[in-house]
Structure 1
Amino acid sequence: MLVNDVLIEVEGVTKSFTLRRRAGRFRRTKVRVDAVTGLDFQVRRGEMVGYIGPNGAGKSTTIKMLTGILLPSSGRLRVAGADPMRERVRLAQRMGVVFGQRTTLWWDLPLRDSYELARRIYRIPDADYRRNLDRCVELLELGDLLDVPVRQLSLGQRMRGDIAAALLHQPEVLYLDEPTIGLDVVSKRRVREFLAQVNAEQGTTVLLTTHDLTDIEQLCSRVMVIDHGRVVYDGDLDGLHDQGRSERTLVVDLDREVPPIELPGTRVLRVEGARQWLAFPAAASAAPLVADLAGRYELRDLSVREPEIEDVIARMYAGEEEGAAEPVAG
């Protein structure tokens, strides 16, 4: 890896918080909580990386340190060669941020006015602003929403509006913290397609935190798993599934009750009347299983459920109990 090819550098980073907890009727004690411990990774320019883990793992804390919102307790952070905390103003021109639970848009103003404010804050040249706005409006289907106050937008509409706002100044790196949380299927598809296009056409580096493994499958070639403040896996998604021995679930609705279905490479999890749940390796394709089922049974409905990230990580730890739990590279 070339040095100038690295956009994000994280070396031995730790972030600790001091909390006060009740220790009696009138007394409180200070307790140190480590949100991130000895974090090490690099992200190359143009990469789209999934940064995943259970709640409280340290994902949002990492994003906040990379954007200069939080100062690391120890270690070294560099984004485009700059310290995010000490050079926040300069880096603000080179990065975009979307927090799924918070909006950067002005609540009582129409969407168009929020974008105009962003143009002035980032001092975007008029021609660049019009070109970038037109592109975002078209790809995210925001045309009918530009004159609607942000408070009247649905969650999916607001999220698309936030993503557009984060990209108006053409940042080199985009941090996305749960950008599809709470979105319907259609909104998720629009957001994913847009992000894939921005990454492919503009080379925008993306660091994506999510609880939805489908986001990772459709967008990221690399995934990092963080748990208890440290990276426990860094590689591709297939390697993660192999490491965690994760399984997808095929939910089959038949036209009548039958004995538990026996298919090579699957195991029956549950049977309730004419519905059966079959588990199969997450890295395997569901297509041959569906074809086999369709040839043997009359099907009313069928769906595939992805494994939960928490389950994948739990399986990883279960497999590491026999040895040291070191970070795994895929």
Structure 2
Amino acid sequence: MPISARPIIDVRQLSKRYRVAEKRPGLVGTFQHLLQRRYREVCAVQGVSFAIEPGEMVGFLGPNGAGKTTTLKMLTGLIHPSGGSVRVADCVPFERRERFLQQITLVMGNRQQLIWDLPALDSFRVNAAVYGIDSATAERRIGELAEMLELGPELRRPVRKLSLGQRMKAELLAALLHRPAVLFLDEPTLGLDVNAQARVRDFLDDYNRRTGATVLLTSHYMGDITALCERVLLIHEGQLFHDGPLARLTQDLAPHREVRLELEELQPAGSFAAYGLVDAHQGHHVRLRIRREQLTERVASLLSAFAISDLEVSDPPIEQLIGDLFRREDRQAQGTP
């Protein structure tokens, strides 16, 4: 069966457990650790299942230590799962066969593959040789990707002399030279300034549209997720607890919408309590939260009852919603209200 007829990433009950040595503090603990070690088992990923279709761009979110990077390493074959099954591009990742390696790439924002003291162009040519790409094809692909990434003379400078943003774009070029079908991106905009982040996002969006490549993206910058991914996976303490559209996640997390008013005339305190939850009322400015199912009716009532010069309705920031969700999950796990 062709790859396109089934999910390009198929994960079923994936788990990863580690055996970790425990050491007691102090000199006695050190001797005991040397002579008779005690171990405990840590479950980094537990029973994770999802499927991604060819061409999808999916965000993978979770707090530090949630299991995102461990999952990515299992999907790319860097570590062997303890349980469950995973297939990527119709291959078993940990077998690390050539057909699999030709179809995937992994970019980690805190790791680099470029040779530090050589021009990036030399590293690209090494990569081309590793993947068996002939010189003419390699030069053409380097030129196409460099144009998309807005890289020019920078490619002939030593990597150590490139800015962080230029270096990240060069890393992306090196990772995409063999035209992979699946991109695993772990914090690709880590440490970049706002402008560099935007350029990397624009490139990834353009690359996905041009090539139909599948992208699984982890990031702590919610701007990356909201700009690129319609679907998100949320993982917490090694377990997947949301898989669906980003828009639906916003609705599930925020039963209210935020309404900002600018009044033509000052109003006494308490004038807006009947319309929703008042978050702020300062001078001519009022900020309310109104339940989604009551929004149309309440906004119409506000417009008829008060002289309003400006009105804005919006969802609470997604960063705030997801941050609140993870904090709530932590409190529940600890048994605190």
Q: Same fold (TM over 0.5)?
A: yes
Larger mean Cα displacement after TM superposition, 151-160 or 175-184: 151-160
Counterpart of 2:142, as a letter, is L
Larger mean Cα displacement after TM superposition, 57-66 or 148-157: 148-157
Shift in Å at residue 16 of structure 1? 0.9
1:1-330 correspondence runs (5 A) = 4-25=5-26, 26=29, 27-28=32-33, 29-245=38-254, 269=279, 296=309, 306-308=318-320, 309-314=322-327
- Deviation per CA, 1:81-110: give whole Å up to 9, x if none: 211111343311111110011111111111
Kept after mapping to 1: 8 A contact 2:57/2:229: yes
Larger mean Cα displacement after TM superposition, 61-70 or 266-275: 266-275
Kept after mapping to 2: 8 A contact 1:250/1:305: no
| TM-score, scaled relative to structure 2 | 0.77
Higher helix share: 2
Shift in Å at residue 144 of structure 1? 2.7
Between the aligned partners of 1:182 and 1:234, the Cα distance in structure 2 is: 27
Between the aligned partners of 1:265 and 1:126, the Cα distance in structure 2 is: 68
Shift in Å at residue 306 of structure 1? 4.6
Q: Per the alignment, do residues 152 and 319 of structure 1 end up closer, same or farther by CA in structure 2, a change over 3 Å counting?
A: same
Q: Per the alignment, do residues 108 and 49 of structure 1 end up closer, same or farther by CA in structure 2, a change over 3 Å counting?
A: same
Kept after mapping to 2: 8 A contact 1:246/1:315: no
Kept after mapping to 1: 8 A contact 2:230/2:247: no
Counterpart of 1:21, as a letter, is E
* Sequence identity percentage: 39
Kept after mapping to 1: 8 A contact 2:250/2:318: no
Shift in Å at residue 13 of structure 1? 1.1
Q: Per the alignment, do residues 266 and 198 of structure 1 end up closer, same or farther by CA in structure 2, a change over 3 Å counting?
A: farther
Unaligned segments of structure 2, at least 5 residues: 262-266, 311-315
Aligned length: 309
Q: Per the alignment, do residues 221 and 310 of structure 1 end up closer, same or farther by CA in structure 2, a change over 3 Å counting?
A: same
Shift in Å at residue 125 of structure 1? 2.7
Between the aligned partners of 2:17 and 2:24, the Cα distance in structure 1 is: 21
- CA RMSD after TM alignment: 3.9
| TM-score, scaled relative to structure 1 | 0.79
Shift in Å at residue 113 of structure 1? 1.0
Counterpart of 1:307, as a letter, is E
Runs of 4+ in 1 over 4 A off after TM superposition: 246-252, 258-282, 315-320
- Deviation per CA, 1:262-306: give whole Å up to 9, x if none: 699986657899999877899x9xxx9xxx9xx748xxxxxx955
Between the aligned partners of 1:93 and 1:224, the Cα distance in structure 2 is: 26
Q: Per the alignment, do residues 276 and 233 of structure 1 end up closer, same or farther by CA in structure 2, a change over 3 Å counting?
A: same
Shift in Å at residue 157 of structure 1? 1.5
